[in-house]
């Protein structure tokens, strides 16, 4: 068994809320609570869940864009939870992120060429400007844009093209791991498919490892080897993608899958409609976080915090009722 | 055969901008019957929202409605005075917008906003009656403790709750036609399922006609009986949901259907089929079919004249010189 590329142990992240006299900490948003998993090289782990479930926060913690409150993150066996300065910068070369909003994540005053050159300069990857230009040309070919695009500004591009620029920027420093944070949710369906195909092609070509964060379960199923479902800061279920979608165990996963409108008029008849909203992560319900909305909850669910247990081979779920 | 509520004929809406003139909606015709839901699908910029705003006469400068008719119960809305139109808008035709945060006024309580709408359109009601009705509406759309929620501000509600308030606002005057522009796009799936379910039930109860504008083919399959597929300002295909999903004729419709990842395909990690290229700029449309540069079946005639919307079978129409032959999916 080789060392996993990324190993996460019991990671928790809370954001303090200050208020009152002297701005004392009055409460905290428990965005991510006690998450553990491993990712092998070349694998794609999908993270799904509704807004506010902590999937983006988790993604950012993993590549140290947020400092974790507790827990450990190991990259290739090395603990990177608290590294700083030069060491952290070295590490960042290996881990990159692609953001959701291709409109907000590119500096409108920089040309595409300089956007792509910036990471090369920061990480001091090439001595001469010419080598940098060669690398940029290579990148722009890789993501399917044209070289004459390099002198243009982000506003001159469509959403799909901008997302390609975002991908090229992430690839510039030759990373091993890329966190894709809702990379296609701002795009039209026909463009979405183009970008998904590009991401998968690049993964094969460059041997990349992805953490793919999205709320669209169909997209996640398509790209992921394994999928983790999050609810209010916790992983409630995790399995191989096919197993999870064919054979969901956790009532939340079941409801989530059944809530997706199917593009088929003969679709399914029965649908689990959850009542209520996702509770606030400031004051999550006791016991199982899902209990107030769960169709099969019993009294024990209000007191017992369900552990993430193996319910089938390589298939874990946190529910005492299944 | 139920009565035709809204009949849109050859609607054209033009925008004059500094960069030139373009037609966001070009010769669009369809009708809505009572109790029926029509879906309008297409990608951003295809003109689906402008179509709905044109029906409501909410097009603002630099846009103008250039031509066509919007017959609502036989009378042409485009010919009405502003005053008359104001009475119809909100009263007989109501609209639900995509973003519930920006379409509610943040400085008034939600109760005040619904009450205002009711008082504006139903002048015979007293303030107390209007309040009672507003609370009743909040209850109908499934807001718990409506008496309490009545006094809350939009920011105190979640996205799903705000969308329920928007729906309450829209149905507060018993509209006969409801136009919903991406009503669930900003919501999470479990909340989307709740809202779609609510809209379906309300429509049945009020026997209203509905136009549902969305880019999500899943939502269309679930909610609509008939569908118009729009591309670059025109309807390229129209038919029943079965026509569109099982027997698409236009290559754009086919491309759209193929580019959504499906569950249970079995051949996972395969390439998704895509539509190459991008939607053409409306400022600079090609001569002939607007889909020609992205179409797998393009031929010479496609580059010469725009293909007319031709009848296929039943109500099924497609604007293509080389339509896809029948297949059972």
A138 touches chain B (CB under 8 A): no
Predicted confidence band of residue B325 (pLDDT cuts 50, 70, 90): confident
Measured distance CA(B186)–CA(A51) in Å, rounded: 10
Instruction: Tell me the pLDDT tens digit for each residue of B202-231.
Output: 888 889 999 999 989 999 999 999 999 999
Quote the mean pLDDT of chain A.
Answer: 91
User: Cα(B204)–Cα(B200) distance, rounded to whole angstroms?
Assistant: 6
Residue B194 phi/psi, 5-degree rounding, is -60, -45
- On the CB side of B294, how many CA atoms lie within 13 Å of its CA? 21
Tell me the pLDDT band of B268, cut-offs 50, 70 and 90: low
Strand partners, B94: B178
User: What integer is the mean pLDDT of B23-38?
Assistant: 94
H/E stretch holding A170 reads helix A159-171
Confidence grade of residue B263 (pLDDT, cut at 50, 70, 90): low
- The β-bridge relationship of strands A95-98 and A177-181 is parallel
Residue B242 has pLDDT above 50, yes or no: yes
3-state DSSP call for residue B264?
coil
Residue B199: what are its φ and ψ, rounded to 5°?
-65, -40
Q: Please, what is the Cα angle at A294 between A288 and A300, to 5 degrees?
A: 45
Contacts of A271 in chain B (CB under 8 A): 193, 197
Q: Which of B263, B262, B254, B259 is nearest to B272 (CA)?
A: B259
| Strands B226-231, B63-72: pairing kind | unpaired
| Cis? peptide before A187, omega within 30° of 0 | no
Specify whether the CB–CB gap between A62 and A179 falls below 8 A. Answer: yes
**Is 70 exceeded by the pLDDT of residue B270?**
no
Query: Taking 70 as the threshold, does the pLDDT of residue A174 lie above it?
Result: yes
Cα–Cα distance list, B254 to B260, B273, B327 (Å): 11, 10, 12
Task: Give the range with max mean pLDDT: A157-166, A230-239, B11-20, B114-123.
Answer: A230-239
**What is the enclosing helix (H) or strand (E) of B96?**
strand B93-96
Rounded mean pLDDT of B135-164?
A: 88
How many residues are there in chain A?
322
Residue B260: band (very low, low, confident or very high) from pLDDT cuts 50, 70, 90: confident
The percentage of residues in chain B with a pLDDT greater than 70, rounded to a whole number, is 96
Q: Which of A246, A263, A273 sits opposite B197 (nearest CB)?
A: A273
Cα distances (angstroms) measured from residue A51 to each of B165, B180, B186, B187, B246: 20, 23, 10, 9, 33
Q: What is the DSSP letter of A298?
A: -
Q: Chain B: residue nearest A246 by CA? A: B264
Q: Assign residue B36 a region: left if phi > 0, alpha if psi is -120 to 50, beta otherwise? A: beta
Interface test with B, best of A144, A164, A184, A193 (most B CBs within 10 A): A193
Q: Which residues contact A26 (CB under 8 A, 6 or more apart)?
A: A17, A18, A19, A20
- ipTM over cut 0.90: no
Burial of B27 (0-12, 13-18, 19+ CB in 10 A): middle
Terminal Cα-to-Cα distance of chain B (whole angstroms): 29
Hey, what domains does chain A have and what are their CATH numbers?
Answer: 6-224 (3.40.50.300), 252-322 (no CATH)
Q: Which residues of A touch B259 (CB under 8 A)?
A: 189-190, 192-193
**What is the per-residue pLDDT for B73?**
93
pLDDT(A91) > 80: yes
- Listed by number, the residues of chain A in 233-252 with a beta carbon closer than 8 Å to a beta carbon of chain B are 241-242, 245-246
Q: Which pLDDT value is given to residue B267?
A: 46
Q: Which residue has better confidence, A191 or B236?
A: B236
pLDDT digits (tens, 9 = 90+) for B100-141: 677 889 999 999 999 999 998 888 899 999 999 999 989 888
Q: What is the mean pLDDT of chain B?
A: 89
Q: Does A254 touch chain B (CB under 8 A)?
A: no
pLDDT of residue B123: 85
- Across chain A, the runs of DSSP E, i.e. the strands, are 6-19, 24-39, 44-48, 70-75, 78-79, 95-98, 177-181, 209-214, 226-231, 234-240, 309-312, 315-317
In B, minimum Cα distance to A263 occurs at B218
Distances (CA, A) of B200 to B181, B223, B224: 15, 7, 10
> In what side-by-side order are the strands of the sheet with B4-17?
B20-33, B4-17, B63-72, B75-76
Using CB atoms, pick whichever of B216, B269, B274 lies closest to residue A190. Answer: B274
- Helices vs strands, H then E, count in chain B: 10, 12
Lowest mean pLDDT across A10-14, A64-68, A155-159: A155-159
Structure token pair of residue B305: 């004249």
User: What are the φ and ψ backbone dihedral angles of B237, each rounded to 5 degrees?
Assistant: -155, 145
Q: Collect all residues of chain A within an 8 Å Cβ-Cβ radius of residue B161.
A: 277
Quote the percentage of chain A above a pLDDT of 90.
70
Tokens coding A152:
């243009």
- Residue A26: what pLDDT? 84
Q: Please give the average per-residue pLDDT across A53-63, as a whole number.
A: 92
- Give the count of Cβ contacts less than 8 A between chain A and B: 120
Please indicate whether, in this complex, the C-beta atoms of A215 and B221 are within 8 angstroms of each other.
no
- Chain B residues whose beta carbon lies within 8 Å of the beta carbon of residue A246: 264
Q: Is B188 on the interface with A (CB under 8 A)?
A: yes
End-to-end Cα separation, chain A, in angstroms: 30
pLDDT tens digits, one per residue of B244-254: 999 999 999 99
């Amino acid at each position: 068994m080789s060392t996993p590329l990324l190993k996460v142990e019991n990671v928790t992240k809370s954001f303090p809320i200050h208020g009152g006299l002297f701005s004392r900490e009055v409460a905290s948003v428990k965005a991510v609570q006690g998450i553990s998993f491993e990712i092998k090289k070349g694998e794609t782990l999908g993270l799904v869940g509704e807004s506010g479930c902590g999937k983006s926060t988790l993604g950012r913690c993993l590549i140290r864009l947020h400092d974790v409150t507790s827990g450990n993150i190991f990259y290739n066996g090395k603990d990177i939870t608290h590294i700083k300065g030069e060491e952290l910068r070295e590490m960042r070369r290996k881990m990159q992120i692609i953001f959701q909003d291709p409109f907000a994540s590119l500096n409108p005053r920089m040309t595409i060429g300089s956007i792509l050159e910036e990471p090369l300069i920061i990480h001091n990857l090439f001595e001469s400007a010419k080598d940098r230009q060669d690398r940029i040309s290579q990148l722009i070919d890789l993501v399917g844009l044209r070289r004459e695009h390099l002198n243009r500004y982000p506003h001159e591009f469509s959403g799909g093209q901008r997302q390609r620029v975002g991908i090229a920027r992430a690839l510039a420093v030759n990373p091993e791991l890329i966190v894709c944070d809702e990379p296609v949710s701002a795009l039209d369906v026909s463009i979405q498919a183009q970008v998904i195909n590009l991401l998968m092609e690049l993964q094969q070509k460059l041997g990349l490892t992805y953490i793919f964060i999205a709320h669209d379960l169909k997209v996640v199923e398509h790209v992921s080897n394994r999928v983790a479902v999050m609810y209010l800061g916790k992983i409630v279920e995790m399995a191989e993608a096919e197993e999870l979608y064919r054979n969901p165990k956790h009532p939340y996963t079941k409801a989530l899958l059944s809530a997706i409108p199917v593009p088929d008029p003969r679709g399914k008849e029965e649908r689990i409609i959850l009542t209520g909203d996702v509770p606030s992560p400031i004051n999550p319900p006791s016991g199982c976080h899902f209990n107030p909305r769960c169709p099969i909850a019993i009294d024990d669910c209000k007191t017992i915090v369900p552990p993430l247990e193996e319910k089938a081979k390589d298939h874990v779920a946190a529910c005492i009722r299944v | 055969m139920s009565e035709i509520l809204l009949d849109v004929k050859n609607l054209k809406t033009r925008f004059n901008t500094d960069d030139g003139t373009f037609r966001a909606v070009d010769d669009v015709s369809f009708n809505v019957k009572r109790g029926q839901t029509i879906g309008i699908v297409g990608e951003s910029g295809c003109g689906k929202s402008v179509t709905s705003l044109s029906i409501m006469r909410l097009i603002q400068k630099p846009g103008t409605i250039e031509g066509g008719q919007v017959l609502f119960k036989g009378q042409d809305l485009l010919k009405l005075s502003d005053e008359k139109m104001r009475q119809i808008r909100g009263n007989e035709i109501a609209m639900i917008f995509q973003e519930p945060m920006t379409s509610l006024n943040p400085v008034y309580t939600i109760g005040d906003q619904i009450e205002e709408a009711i008082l504006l359109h139903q002048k015979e009601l007293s303030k107390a009656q209007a309040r009672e009705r507003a609370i009743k509406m909040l209850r109908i759309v499934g807001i718990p403790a409506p008496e309490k929620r009545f006094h809350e501000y939009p920011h105190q509600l979640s996205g799903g709750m705000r969308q329920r308030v928007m729906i309450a606002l829209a149905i507060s005057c018993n509209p006969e036609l409801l136009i919903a522009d991406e009503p669930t796009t900003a919501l999470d799936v479990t909340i989307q399922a709740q809202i779609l379910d609510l809209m379906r039930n309300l429509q049945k109860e009020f026997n209203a006609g509905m136009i549902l504008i969305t880019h999500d083919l899943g939502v269309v399959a679930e909610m609509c009986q008939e569908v118009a597929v729009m591309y670059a300002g025109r309807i390229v295909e129209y038919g029943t949901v079965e026509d569109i999903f099982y027997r698409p004729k236009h290559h754009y419709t086919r491309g759209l259907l193929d580019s959504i990842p499906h569950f249970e395909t079995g051949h996972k990690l395969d390439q998704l089929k895509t539509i190459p290229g991008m939607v053409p700029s409306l400022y600079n449309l090609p001569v002939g079919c607007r889909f020609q540069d992205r179409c797998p079946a393009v031929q010479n005639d496609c580059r010469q004249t725009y293909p007319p919307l031709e009848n296929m079978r039943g109500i099924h129409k497609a604007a293509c010189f080389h339509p896809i032959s029948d297949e059972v999916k």
